[in-house]
Chain A
Amino acid sequence: MKTKDGFSIKDGHPTFNHQYTDPINALEFANELIRHTYREGYSLPEMP
Chain B
Amino acid sequence: MIREMNSENIVALCDVDWKYAGPQLEAYPNAKKYKDFRKMFDEMGSQIDAVVVGTADHTHAVIAARALSMGKHVYCEKPLTHTVYETRLLTRLAAKQKVATQMGNQGASGNGVRQICEAIWSGMIGEVTRVEAFTDRPIWPQGLETPTEVHTPHPELDWDLFIGPAPYRPYNQIYHPWNWRGWWDFGTGALGDMACHILQPAVKALNLKSPVAVQGSSTALMTDCAPNAQIAKFIFPARDNMPKVGMPRVEVTWYDGGLLPEYPKGWPAGRNMNDSGGAVIFYGTKDTLVCGCYGVNPWLLSGREIPAPAMTREVPEGNHILDFVRACKEGPESRIKCASDFSEAGPLNEMVVMGVLAVRLQGLNRELQWDGEAMKLPTSLPTIPSE
Q: Could you list which residues of chain A lie within 8 angstroms of chain B, going by C-beta atoms? A: 1-5, 18, 20-27, 29-30, 33-36, 38-39, 42-45, 47-48
Among B61, B88, B164, B377, contact of A30 (Cβ-Cβ < 8 Å) = B377
Question: 20 A-B residue contacts at CB 8 Å?
Answer: A1-B221, A1-B223, A4-B145, A5-B222, A18-B387, A20-B387, A21-B223, A21-B386, A25-B383, A26-B363, A27-B379, A30-B357, A30-B377, A34-B84, A34-B376, A42-B165, A44-B62, A44-B89, A48-B92, A48-B96
Q: Are B382 and A26 in contact (CB under 8 A)?
A: yes
Question: B146 on the interface (CB 8 Å rule)?
Answer: yes
What is the minimal beta-carbon distance from A23 to any residue of chain B, in angstroms?
Answer: 5
Bound CA span A44–B360, Å: 24
Cβ of A42 to closest chain B Cβ, rounded Å: 4
Query: Which are the 7 A-B pairs with shortest beta-carbon distances?
Result: A42-B165, A35-B85, A26-B381, A38-B165, A24-B384, A20-B386, A48-B92
The B356-387 residues at the A interface (CB cut-off 8 A) are 356-357, 360-361, 363-364, 375-377, 379-387
Q: Is A33 touching B383 in the complex (CB atoms < 8 A)? A: no
B89 to nearest A CB, angstroms? 6
Number of residues on chain B facing chain A (CB within 8 A):
47
Q: Are A26 and B384 in contact (CB under 8 A)?
A: yes
Residues of B within 8 A of A (CB): 61-62, 65-66, 69, 82-86, 88-89, 92-93, 95-96, 143, 145-146, 163-168, 220-223, 356-357, 360-361, 363-364, 375-377, 379-387
**Contact between chains at A36 and B357 (CB < 8 Å):** no
Cβ–Cβ < 8 Å partners of B95 in chain A:
48
Residues of chain B lying within 8 A (CB to CB) of residue A29:
360-361, 384
A37 to chain B, nearest CB (A): 8
Please give the distance in Å from A32's CB to the nearest CB on chain B.
9
Chain A hits for B61, CB < 8 A: 44
Contact of A5 among B62, B220, B375 (CB under 8 A): B220
For B386, the chain A residues whose CB sits under 8 A away are: 20-23
Task: Evaluate contact between B163 and A39: CB separation under 8 angstroms.
Answer: yes
